[in-house]
Amino acid sequence: MDIERIQKLSGIIGHSDRIREVLDLIVQIGPVDITTLINGPSGVGKEMVAKAVHLASRRSREELITVNCGAIPEGIIESELFGHKKGSFTGAGDDRKGYFESANKGTIFLDEIGETPLATQVKLLRVLETGEFMRVGDSKTLKTDVRVIAATNKNLGDMVQNGTFRQDLYYRLKTVTINVPALKDRVEDITHLVERFALEFTRSNEILYRGFMPEAIRMMKKYNWPGNVRELKNFVQKILVLEKGERITVAMVSRELGDALPSIDINHNLPVLVSDQPERAEIDLILRQLFLLRQDSETIRNQLMAIVQNGGLSNIPIPVGDNLNVGVPIHDKSMEITDDHAYFIRDEVIGDMAIKDLEKEAITRTLKFFNNNRRKSAKSLNMSERTLYRKIEEFGLEPKIKKSNES
Ligand SMILES: Nc1ncnc2c1ncn2[C@@H]1O[C@H](COP(=O)(O)OP(=O)(O)OP(=O)(O)O)[C@@H](O)[C@H]1O
Ligand SMILES: [Mg+2]
């Protein structure tokens, strides 16, 4: 059995080094009858790996029985695992086989092993070590020949420390451990996973599929996918439904991932912006902030003029709310920012934004844009050249700008 074959059989997608390590291990330990522990965060594909181990084993023609230890009520878990004798408890009308008996010659997959009650753990240890067990209510020892694979997203080592998992069972289980890495640690696989999920989904639902733009995939690689492959799969399906038949663009992806995306811009004091042109969106935002600032100062200036003209404070109308903008014309188109969902600003950074940072950024960029021509820059920023000089000094922009111009 080689990697390619096991990928084909199990459906595990991925070409990253990390996933290849996992596949290598599966190929290596698959054929050996050894207890295997699969560890990794939620949604990374532990169940797929368990199936792959079974498929790579000599038991592949026999049954693989999956038991979700976290989903079986504590009161009946032992009867489910080991079976019971007729009349051993209320409702036990017949003798019944448990999973360990049914899985004889095959494989048993104990999913969410960390959820197993302590009392049951002792019995698991016994069956792991000797293949022996007893049905509930019976004193006869039975024997089974099963290969055990267990999986958990818990840290069993920690559980041993705080007394919720038996140390002897832990040592028995972890002899061979397959650690399945989080998706964010193998982003190269995202392209393949998206493509496969999209094809499968559109085919079975008869949706036209036009693919994902490379930029859209790139953005998806920046997200950290706490729900791992499961989350990615759901995301792909959701976006294909929402954008039925459309080619998936970066704008669509950013709209869906929204706030969850990490900052892409360089200045971390600035709001986080996500758009197909982050640079452009950032400039727009800075301009908008400066524009609002200018509106404010204009309003204040008008009021001061009014004070002077009216000769006293008592006659001044105090503007409230929206009235603040009355009489301040918005002429400059470039100052507008469109609310077409292309831009997102994380609310939590808003409070950290200082007008000074925005101003400094705007000045730096404007000077750069006009090749350090201060007259043009001042005009564009709508400030006097004198003010610009003062700001350049205040923000210590001179050496930096000169330097960047020289290079
Ligand atoms: N490498 C992969 N290739 C293709 N599909 C994958 C891959 N990894 C995971 N999946 C898909 O992602 C989903 C979650 O996988 P799986 O149930 O195996 O994860 P898990 O680690 O067992 O999650 P949990 O910890 O929540 O039980 C499934 O739909 C599975 O088909
Ligand atoms: Mg699982």
- Report the residue among 230, 233, 235 best suited for mutation to probe ligand 1: largest number of ligand atoms under 8 A from its CB: 230
Q: Token pair of 166, please?
A: 């038996």
CA 262 from chain centre, in angstroms, equals: 10
Q: Whose structure tokens read 């036990």?
A: 92
Q: Token pair of 59, please?
A: 């038991």
Q: Is the whole model's pTM more than 0.75, yes or no?
A: no
The pLDDT score that the predictor gives to residue 89 is: 81
Residues at CB less than 6 angstroms from ligand 1:
11-14, 40, 42-48, 153, 193, 229-230, 233
How many angstroms separate the alpha carbon of residue 383 from the centre of ligand 2? Answer: 62
CA distances from 366 to 45, 272, 362, 372, 379 (A): 50, 20, 6, 8, 10
The pLDDT score that the predictor gives to residue 279 is: 52
Domain boundaries, the chain: 3-181, 185-260, 278-406
Q: Token pair of 177, please?
A: 């451990």
Q: Token pair of 325, please?
A: 């903008």
Nearest CA to ligand 1 atom 8: 45
Q: Does domain 3-181 have CATH number 3.40.50.300?
A: yes
How many angstroms separate the alpha carbon of residue 404 from the centre of ligand 1? Answer: 49
How many angstroms separate the alpha carbon of residue 133 from the centre of ligand 2? Answer: 26
The atom of ligand 1 lying closest to the CA of 14 is 1
Q: Token pair of 264, please?
A: 């892409």
Dihedral (C-alpha) 239, 241, 242, 246: value to the nearest 10 degrees?
80
- Under CATH, which architecture does the 185-260 domain have? Orthogonal Bundle (1.10)
**Average pLDDT per run of 10 along the chain, which is 407 residues long?**
94 96 97 96 97 97 96 92 88 89 97 96 96 95 97 97 96 95 96 94 89 92 95 96 90 84 45 45 55 65 77 54 40 34 39 70 85 89 90 80 47
Q: Token pair of 125, please?
A: 């240890």
Q: What is the DSSP string of 11-44?
A: -----SHHHHHHHHHHHHHTTS---EEEE-STTS
